[in-house]
Amino acid sequence: MTDLLHNIEWVLPLRTPALTTLAFALSWLGYSTFIMFFMAVGYWALSKTIFFRVMLLIMFSALLNAFVKDLFQDPRPPLALRLDDLVGNSYGLPSGHAQLAVVIWMWLAYEMKRTWVWIACSLITLGVILSRLYLGAHDLEDVLVGAALGALTLIAFIQIKDRKWLWQRHPAWSMTAITAVTTAALLCWPNKAVPPDYIVTIAAWMAGGIVGLHYEEKLLGFNVLPACRNRILAALTGIISFILLQKVLKLADTLPLPVLPWQLVKGLIIGFFIAWPVPWLLVKIRLATRRR
């Protein structure tokens, strides 16, 4: 049983150039570049409510995954078996790709409640999970635990998503809650490991998004026009704006700024930018409506 969970040599005879290309494409769906743009575009062009919940799920799952990885410190499969060289020296258990695939795609299926969406999202989730095995980035135990954590997160979120919590009443309470949870996690980080740099950025991103959404709902109340043409143009406008923001932030990265404070500020800017300036722009160019 142990050999089945940890030995992935069985994937070697299955590898072909075509399958390898497909595996890399599916695996890309679990990396931050895709997730960041997908979440933002969905927020601007599909459903603000659904994709804000997706953002919350992604942020929590990323923190949980990093914490559990350093808790177990379970190594990945041998380098000789790996095709994916983007994983660096990180641990394998649980698989972040598997965890986020379940969280993102199964949540979208749950929200949309359409048969074809369930089928498509299930196939994407399975494809991402299998791609991590195929590329040798994870063993079977890694992806099973990652998928289980993702499923448990969804079950818990379904139970609490409609409750009205104190921290939801004002962004100051939200900032306090996020700061408290993040600080507690960093202080209790397991095995005296150094927490990943992105933990602070993720927390700040969430805080910026919540503050932006609060004021956008209060002052604007944007909704994308339902026509497909408008949604496509809204997505393209948001993508261009986001790319320009990223270029500005990269220029700032070259300045001699303290690393931790800059990561915090950068996360706040990105989260706020998604939730307020871009929706404001979409309303101004008439690709979205505002609440009357």
pLDDT tens string 85-122: 777 778 888 999 999 999 999 999 999 989 999 999 99
**SS in 3 state form for the chain?**
CHHHHHCCHHHHHHCCHHHHHHHHHHHHCCCHHHHHHHHHHHHHHCCHHHHHHHHHHHHHHHHHHHHHHHHHCCCCCCHHHCCCCCCCCCCCCCCHHHHHHHHHHHHHHHHHCCHHHHHHHHHHHHHHHHHHHHCCCCCHHHHHHHHHHHHHHHHHHHHHCCCCCHHHCCHHHHHHHHHHHHHHHHHCCHHHCCCCCHHHHHHHHHHHHHHHHHHHHHHCCCEECCCHHHHHHHHHHHHHHHHHHHHHHHHHHCCCCCHHHHHHHHHHHHHHHHHCHHHHHHHHCCCEECCC
pLDDT at 166: 56
pLDDT at 259: 81
> CA-based diameter of the chain, in Å?
62
Q: To 10 degrees, the CA torsion angle through 185, 191, 196, 197?
A: 70
pLDDT at 149: 96
**Counting beta carbons within 10 angstroms of the beta carbon of residue 140, is it exposed (0 to 12), middle (13 to 18) or buried (19 or more)?**
middle
pLDDT tens string 199-209: 888 889 888 99
pTM: 0.89
Lowest mean pLDDT among 123-132, 252-261, 281-290: 252-261
Looking at this protein, which amino acid is placed at residue 108?
Answer: L
Token duo for residue 66: 């990093």
Would the pLDDT of 168 be above 70? no
Kindly list the domain boundaries of the chain, sorted by start residue.
Answer: 74-163, 164-292
pLDDT at 145: 96
Output 169 or 174, whichever has higher pLDDT: 174
pLDDT tens string 180-199: 888 888 888 988 888 887 88
- C-alpha–C-alpha distance, residues 218 and 115, integer Å: 35
pLDDT level of residue 78 (50, 70, 90 thresholds)? confident
Output 87 or 273, whichever has higher pLDDT: 273
